[in-house]
Structure 1
Amino acid sequence: MDRTITVVGHAAIDLLFDVENIAVHNESHPIINYDQYYGGGAANIAIAIAILGGKAQLISAVGGDFASSGYEAELEKYSVDLSLLYRFHEEKSTRAFVFTDREHRQSTYFHWGASVKLKELEPDEVDFVHLATSDSTYNAKIAKKAGFVSFDPGQDLVTYSKENLECILENTDILFTNRHEIQRVCDMTGKSLGDILNMIETVVVTYDASGSKIYNNGIEITIPVVPVKALDPTGAGDAYRAGFLLAHTRNFPLEVCGKIGSVVASFAVQNIGCQTDLPTWEVMKARYEENFGNFPEMN
């Protein structure tokens, strides 16, 4: 039976705008088109795990508009466990506003909404937790309680205090970062990459089109990207983590976990929207075999 993966962080509504130009002070430019999608790193990962056939639980703070937005029904459609969701009816749910011009330059505004309440809360004990972008105080609290901790600070790393970051790292079993974030983790803690690798059993660093590297007990494993025609890179990292973590709970070797993560990420970039084209386990296996050969049996 699958182990439940609890994912902590944002369930955000993403509003993506195509504009002529990014406005600066005292300017106004026309919006060419805009679309609304369901997003937020934690919810992206939870839904991807559920579509793959795993057991996902979401811990997030949501506002009174969460049900009327349709997002709650979307998560329930995929059987994501919402029993630990925090509901603040007087608050708005989290939203991201992303403006992209014709030169593909972006300007992003993020409204935390109900998520600002997380720092005041005392988390429940959970078995296997993945800490996505979220409030650092809450993440530090739950990291000390969980049986197994996966941590992805993401873009919220700049909001972390050194104390909270070190507390989480001391309790982390798997650390996910990109090449910029791992350097920032080192700078914030005063540790070298070697110190981090000695401290945490498994560290996964993504390198955009160059794939990812998995560091584990002195071993370095290189994972290539799965080549597809990419329309939108947003959500690729979340999809990678979902595939990797589900494979990890199913006791696949780390190299296979990384390859599964890479395959799931290839689906996420094929369409606009982080949750638009995520694969089932069988669909993932077919593409895995197209790129990496025979799919291994579960241990």
Structure 2
Amino acid sequence: MTPGVDVLCIGDLDMDLLVAVSERPGSDEKVSGRRLGLMPGGMAANTAVALARLGRSVRLLAAIGDDAEGATALASVAADGVDVSHVARRTGTDTFMCIVLLAPSGEKTLIRLETEAFMPRLSDLTPASLAGVRHVHLSYGSPELTACALAQARRLGLSTSLDLEVPDLKRAPERLADFLQLVDVLFLNRAGWEAVSDILGHAPEPGTEGSGTIVVTLGADGSRQVSTDGVEQAPGMPVEAVDTTGAGDCFAAAYLARLLEGAPVRERLRFANAAAALSTQTFGAHAGMPLRAAVEARLSDKELGRPHTDYAHA
């Protein structure tokens, strides 16, 4: 019998080249940068690693090239206990990579170097990859894969979530409304909320578009959940960020972890806010994902009014 898997994360696994810059370059400008290192990343992989560190069982459906970078990225995810048996290796291609420019504030600017190994193929989404899964979490990197995965999850009675980013919305905006009919939880940031509103012609409405729950990250201002039961908001947790890469993925993972545990809405948001804040205090997306004990300690400090201690790797 196939052991149960809490979450199947479908999407990208990459290597991020982190470069510290004093300011973001404008058009026809040059700035000096400092190489910080080549570190594993990718939205789906980030979420999978964060879920694993928060105590959930996770499977990753992704792709890598047949190069050293792919092997390094895969080993990093596997080291956290993520099931990587459904990560495809593409012969004759490079592993997907991102160049991440980090400002002194920790805010990032990304350049995606997409390859044939950017996303899984439809043929990678097999019955075995879905076996024993409770929840399916996706990005929008491949509209065709997203549509197929959502349809199969619905047929199998699995809950679903979709993390939408503005650059990916440009791939197939005309299909967005149809996808939302199949999604239980929709994750957006502020820019994503505005972009989805522009595409739909109005602000996304829970139940009307299909998504029963919409969760919006608000950066330092925290997060908000909009559902058919109303609106709930939780404040952010101030930290001095050094690298915000993967913070949104960490938020989604933490929210889903508490959702699967049956936690009330406000507890989900507070837990996710704390986890995302902690994830920004270390360079590298995977490196910054906190353990559950660290998140709980951060929440305890907040409740008791104690000064924040770096628990990121407690």
- 1:104 offset after TM fit, Å? 8.2
Closer/same/farther in 2, CA of residues 103 and 117 from structure 1, 3 Å limit = closer
* Structure 2 contact 102–243 (Cα < 8 Å) conserved: no
* Structure 1 contact 122–138 (Cα < 8 Å) conserved: no
- 1:131 offset after TM fit, Å? 0.7
Residue deviations 1:150-189, cap 9 Å, x none?
0111143333313432232110000000121112112223
The alignment covers a number of residue pairs equal to 292
- 1:257 offset after TM fit, Å? 1.1
Closer/same/farther in 2, CA of residues 53 and 31 from structure 1, 3 Å limit = same
Q: Determine helix, strand or coil for the equivalent of 2:47.
A: helix
Alignment counterpart, residue 150 of structure 1, candidates 154, 161, 169: 161
In structure 2, what is the equivalent of residue 109 of structure 1? 111
Distance in 1 of aligned mates of 2:41 and 2:270? 24
Distance in 2 of aligned mates of 1:10 and 1:97? 15
Distance in 2 of aligned mates of 1:104 and 1:251? 33
In structure 1, what is the equivalent of residue 221 of structure 2? 210
- 1:37 offset after TM fit, Å? 1.4
In structure 1, what is the equivalent of residue 312 of structure 2? none
Distance in 1 of aligned mates of 2:260 and 2:56? 9
In structure 2, what is the equivalent of residue 159 of structure 1? 170
Residue 92 of structure 1 pairs with residue 99 of structure 2: no
* Structure 1 contact 51–279 (Cα < 8 Å) conserved: yes
Distance in 1 of aligned mates of 2:77 and 2:54? 14
Q: How does 1:58-207 map to 2 (within 5 A)?
A: 58-65=60-67, 69-100=71-102, 108-116=110-118, 118=120, 121=123, 123-125=125-127, 126=130, 127=133, 128-146=135-153, 147-194=158-205, 199-207=210-218
- 1:103 offset after TM fit, Å? 9.5
Letter in 1 for 2:136: V
Distance in 2 of aligned mates of 1:105 and 1:214? 24
In structure 2, what is the equivalent of residue 283 of structure 1? 294
Query: Identity of aligned pairs, percent?
Result: 24
Alignment counterpart, residue 242 of structure 1, candidates 243, 253, 272: 253
Distance in 1 of aligned mates of 2:33 and 2:6? 42
Residue deviations 1:126-170, cap 9 Å, x none?
341111252121111101111111011114333331343223211
| Gapped regions of structure 1 (runs ≥ 5) | 294-299
Q: Determine helix, strand or coil for the equivalent of 1:82.
A: strand
Distance in 1 of aligned mates of 2:42 and 2:113? 11
Letter in 2 for 1:113: T
* Structure 1 contact 2–54 (Cα < 8 Å) conserved: no
TM-score by length of 1: 0.86
- 1:259 offset after TM fit, Å? 1.1
- 1:82 offset after TM fit, Å? 1.1
Residue deviations 1:192-245, cap 9 Å, x none?
333666632111011111111111214111111122222222221111111111
Q: Pick which of 173-182 and 13-22 moved more.
A: 13-22
- 1:56 offset after TM fit, Å? 1.0
Closer/same/farther in 2, CA of residues 67 and 19 from structure 1, 3 Å limit = closer
In structure 1, what is the equivalent of residue 310 of structure 2? none
Closer/same/farther in 2, CA of residues 99 and 255 from structure 1, 3 Å limit = closer
In structure 1, what is the equivalent of residue 233 of structure 2? 222
* Structure 2 contact 22–104 (Cα < 8 Å) conserved: yes
Alignment counterpart, residue 55 of structure 1, candidates 54, 57, 75: 57
Residue deviations 1:44-89, cap 9 Å, x none?
1100111111101111121112676422211111110112212212
Q: Determine helix, strand or coil for the equivalent of 2:205.
A: helix
* Structure 2 contact 247–276 (Cα < 8 Å) conserved: yes
Distance in 1 of aligned mates of 2:276 and 2:106? 21
Q: Pick which of 101-110 and 4-13 moved more.
A: 101-110
| Gapped regions of structure 2 (runs ≥ 5) | 305-314
Letter in 2 for 1:36: L
Letter in 2 for 1:169: L
Q: Determine helix, strand or coil for the equivalent of 1:85.
A: strand
Distance in 2 of aligned mates of 1:262 and 1:20? 27
* Structure 1 contact 144–168 (Cα < 8 Å) conserved: no
Q: Pick which of 272-281 and 102-111 moved more.
A: 102-111
Residue deviations 1:89-127, cap 9 Å, x none?
211111001345779897542112234564553623534
TM-score by length of 2: 0.83
